[in-house]
Amino acid sequence: MNIFKIVFLCVVFVAGSAFTPGQLTFEKIQQKIPRVNMAYERKEQYIKMKCQKAGIPEETFGNMFIRAFKAEAIMEIWVEKPDGNYAKLDEFNIYAESGKLGPKRMQGDCQVPEGYYYINDFNPNSNYYLSLGINYPNESDMKLSTAANKGGMIYIHGKQASAGCLAMSDYYVEDIYICAVKARNYGQHKIPVQIFPFKPTEENFALFNQYVDCAPFNKLWRNMAQGYNLFEKTHHLPKVSVGADGFYQFSDTEVAAAK
């Protein structure tokens, strides 16, 4: 049995039962991999300091989500605090992203997806250093794209090179990977990833309409902006679903809980 099968069996065992002292957790399994262990040695204290500054108890690292803006080439990490509000833990430059503004719709278009996704893979032995897989194509992509082959294998990774992925520096991707490991370790099985063409403010919509043919994507972008605005208003992560038409539907979890 090779090491990857051993790791997989350990993860399944841990996920199906309560942790006990000394038991291998997802985080401990990841730290047994040399690249991840070295990243922890370099960055764990820095992340703890960031958590303390943001009012996030590092010992119970809460739910998190990743938000990226293609035009601004910025990626953010937000983490839920004990009061249920999310605080921005950190912000990083995206070093490479192929294609142009607009969603990914087919294999080979080299587009970075746009929409609401989640992390579906941890690859600590990637050819691109450390990699976090994104569940493209999601339900919205499947409904809005007519292509026979919609593509896949989209990651957040290091090495500063992109063919449809969000490529970070190796230095920054360590922080992102460690945060995702901690969130997964404390029970978050689907870490949301929101990818926008730009920060969807009215000022930016007006600005980009001057330089980009937004007409083919405007309906999707306006739809995505609803979730962005809801989060900006409440700092609670809205519940996201996909309608029969392929567009996103949002519900304010804070309001829903009060009803």
Rounded Cα gap, residues 152 and 137, in angstroms: 6
- At 131-148, the pLDDT tens digits run 999 999 999 999 999 999
- Per-residue b or e along 146-185, where b marks 16 or more CB atoms closer than 10 Å to that residue's CB: eeeebbeebbbbbbbebebbbbbbbebbbbbbbbbbbbbb
pLDDT at 53 over 80: yes
pLDDT at 61 over 60: yes
Burial class (CB in 10 A: 0-12, 13-18, 19+), 143: middle
Residue-averaged pLDDT of the chain? 88
Task: Name the CATH architecture for the domain at 39-220.
Answer: Beta Barrel (2.40)
110 Rama class: left (phi>0) / alpha (psi -120 to 50) / beta:
left
Give the side-chain half-sphere CA count within 13 A for 212.
Answer: 16
pLDDT at 3 over 80: no
Collapsed DSSP state (helix, strand, coil) of residue 63 = coil
Of 8-22, 89-103, 219-233, give the range with the top mean pLDDT: 219-233
Give the whole-number percent of the chain exceeding pLDDT 70: 89
CA angle, residues 72, 76, 77, in degrees to nearest 5: 175
pLDDT at 254 over 50: no
Sign of CA dihedral 200, 67, 130, 90: positive
pLDDT at 227 over 70: yes
Mean pLDDT of 162-185: 94
Mean pLDDT of 233-237: 94
pLDDT at 197 over 50: yes
Rounded Cα gap, residues 61 and 79, in angstroms: 8
- At 19-44, the pLDDT tens digits run 455 578 999 999 999 999 999 999 99
β-partners of residue 66 are: 77, 193
C-beta of residue 116 within 8 angstroms of C-beta of residue 138: yes
Residues 6+ apart with CB under 8 A from 205: 214, 221
Q: What is the largest CA-CA distance in the chain?
A: 59
Who wins on pLDDT, 128 or 62? 128
Reported as a pLDDT band with limits 50, 70 and 90, residue 234 is very high
Query: Which of 55-64, 78-87, 114-123, 194-203 has the weakest average pLDDT?
Result: 55-64
pLDDT at 187 over 90: yes
Query: Which of 30-39, 234-243, 246-255 has the weakest average pLDDT?
Result: 246-255
Who wins on pLDDT, 9 or 216? 216
pTM of the model: 0.88
C-beta of residue 73 within 8 angstroms of C-beta of residue 94: yes
pLDDT at 240 over 60: yes
pLDDT at 1 over 70: no
Q: What pLDDT score was predicted for residue 21?
A: 53
Q: Is the peptide bond before 137 cis (omega within 30 degrees of 0)?
A: yes
pLDDT at 238 over 60: yes
- Per-residue b or e along 10-40, where b marks 16 or more CB atoms closer than 10 Å to that residue's CB: bbeebeeeeeeeeeebbbebbbebebbeebb
Rounded Cα gap, residues 207 and 144, in angstroms: 26
